[in-house]
Structures are given as C-alpha cells and as structure tokens.
Amino acid sequence: MTVTTKPTGDRQVDTALTDALTAANRVPRRSRANRTAAHPGQRRAGALTRQRRVRQSAFRLVGGIWTVLIFAVPLAAFIHEMFSQKVPRAAAPAFWQPTPPSIVLASRWNVGWAMNGHKPSALEMKDLVVTDALTLIPKRKPTPIPAVLTSMPATGWTLDNGTTITTDTHAVLVLRPLTNGRPSVPGYGEGWRGAYWLPLTTMSWQNYSLRVTITNLGSEASGSTATVVVGHSEKHVGYAVSISAARITIQNQNGGHMFSGIIPAATSHRVGVTLAKQLRVMVDGSLIATFPSGKVTGGIGFGVYKPTPSSYLPFFTDLWVRPT
C-alpha cells in the first residue's frame, strides 16, 4: 500500500498492492458437492469437535447447577430449620410482688404493710409512735400457775367473741348461750357458749391439775352438756372433757374424738383433769381414762351446750387448780 501527497495537500492511498495480496491469500470456497464429498477423516474430526463443544456446554451447565446448589442448599436448610423450629411462646407473666412502702412513710392505714418482712429499728419504732402510726402495747408477763386456787375467780373471763365477763356474787360461772346475738335470760337461748380464764397470760401453763363441780345438768338424756378445757392456747383449742348427766366425751387439742363412755347418772358431777405429760380424767373420784399427751402448754376454760331453749343450763363452781 502506497500513500502520496498531492499538491493540493490531499493524501492518496494506492490499494493495488493490497488487493493483490488479498486475492493471493483467499482460499477458494468449495462447492456444496465438494463439501459433501469431504474426506471421512475430516467428517470424523468435525463430529468430535461438536461432541467436545456439547460436552463443554454440559460441563458448564452442570457446574452452574452445582454452584447454585452450593449456595441454595444452605439457604434452604437454614429456612427449613428456622421455620421447622417451634415458635417460642410468650413467657408467663411473673407473679407481681409489690414493694412495701418505707417505714418512714407509714401511717395507721399501712403500718402493717410497711413492717411486713422488715423489723423496724429502735429509731424507726420511736418515729412510728411519735407520728401516731403505731401504738405500743406493753407486754404482759406470763401468769404462773397459782400455788393453790380454791375458788372460782370473779374476773378475768373472756368469752369466745372476746368479751370479758365476771362470775355472779356466789362465785358461780354462768355461761348463757346467745339469743339474737345477746346473752339469753334464764329459760331461753340455745347452742354453745365458752369462756377462758386469762387466755393471754396462761398460755405457758403446763403440768397442773384442775377440779371443778358442774351442777344443773338435768336428768339423763336431757341433752345439756358442760365442758372443761385444759391446754388452751392460740394454736390449740385444748383438750375438752364434756359431760352430761350420764355420759362423758373426751376430745384432743384439735377437736378430734378420743373417748366416749357412760358415767353414773346424776344432776351434778365433780370433774378432775390432770395435764402433765399425760391427760388423766376422773369423775366423782373415779378414773375414767388416761392418754399420753407429751409437753402441752395452755390455760383453762369452760363451756356449755343447750340443744333447745328449754334445756337445762349447767353451772360451774368450786374451782380448784394447783401445779403437779
């Protein structure tokens, strides 16, 4: 190829040599018949080439599939694992435990709540008393068992409902069941009525004997009963010895039945009970029963039961108590 420059400044390319070289290098195209009649070795080579290309395409396809699987399988496994797990349930609400107020903020209406689980210091106790949030009640010293108690005390008797009563002028303890919520007059009232002597100060009593006379029991099968209680405390109602004109029943500290028997019929009986590692019961000087009791503490009490308003009302007199 020759390039010349004309006087006008234009360049001219001589392509004659280039065309000649192109013509010399051109391979004459074979006719269809010549292609069809190609050498068998050439056909075999072409087929191998096509097979090789198909194989390469298959390898590329399989490789692509494996690439997809390499990334897809972990993702699918993760998704399966995530959704196959049990959906976590909401936690149950915790038990609400409100915090008690500070003792310094206590008043009459919340002083018990403020002191719940917290023992106030001496200074805090002083503040509670000064602010009138708490009233100090002096502790009562336990009353020792009297050396000898030979008569029915006139005072110190507390009924089941907390009311205090006194005996009558003849040192006889009269317990009338209620009528419409009030003590009944003679000849009226029915049900149970009980009283305990100094129940707060006799809770530490132990190892003692009691004697008492029960009168006005009526005739046999009249239904009225009188009860003597020993070992009465805040935790236990005490042992109860109940008699009628001709029968006796003994119950344990929690009211369970222990003994029932028959006694000689009379309108009055002298009952004796000893509480000292064992419970010993006597009626009119005769031993009725003895039971092991262990260490039992508590005071004394009495009760009556009238099945009907017209039933007899038993009385208690001639009390006698001493240590054993």
Tens digit of each residue's pLDDT (9 = 90 or more) over 265-282? 999 999 999 999 899 999
> Residue 281 sits in a domain of what CATH number?
2.60.120.560
Q: What is the pLDDT of residues 288-301, one digit of tens each?
A: 999 999 889 999 99
Residue 239: name the closest of 254, 259, 224, 225 by CA: 254
The total number of structural domains in the chain stands at 2
Exposure string for 41-55, b = 16+ CB within 10 A, e = fewer: eeeeeeeeeeeeeee
Q: Quick one: 310 and 163 in the same domain?
A: yes
Judgement on whether residues 131 and 246 belong to the same structural domain of the protein: no
How far is CA 211 from each of CA 60, 193, 237, 281, 320, rounded to the nearest angstrom? 115, 20, 19, 10, 5
Residue 291 lies in a domain: yes
CA dist., res. 257 & res. 251, Å (int): 5
202 and 298 housed in the same domain: yes
The pLDDT of 260-268, averaged and rounded, is: 96
Mean pLDDT score, 71-81 = 45
Question: What amino acid occupies position 152?
Answer: M
252 and 130 in a single domain? The answer is: no
Strands in 125-234 per DSSP E: 157-159, 164-165, 178-179, 182-183, 191-197, 208-215, 225-232
- The reply to whether 185 and 294 lie within a common domain is yes
Helix (H) or strand (E) segment spanning residue 260: strand 257-262
pTM recorded for the entire structure: 0.57
Any domain includes 43: no
* 5 domain-assigned: no
- Residue 33 forms part of a structural domain: no
> Nearest 5°: phi and psi at 184?
-80, 155
Q: Are residues 128 and 176 in the same domain?
A: no
Q: Identify the domain containing residue 114 by its residue range.
A: 95-137
Could you tell me the two tokens for 146?
């009297």
Please report, in angstroms and rounded to a whole number, the separation of the first and last CA atoms in the chain.
151
Closest residue by Cα to residue 186 from 177, 199, 194: 177
Residues 314, 192 within the same domain? yes
Are residues 287 and 256 both part of a single domain?
yes
Asked if residue 116 is part of any domain, the answer here is yes
Residues 262, 129 within the same domain: no
pLDDT digits (tens, 9 = 90+) for 135-189: 665 555 666 777 668 889 999 999 988 888 998 878 899 999 988 777 778 778 8
- Whether 186 and 264 map to the same domain: the answer is yes
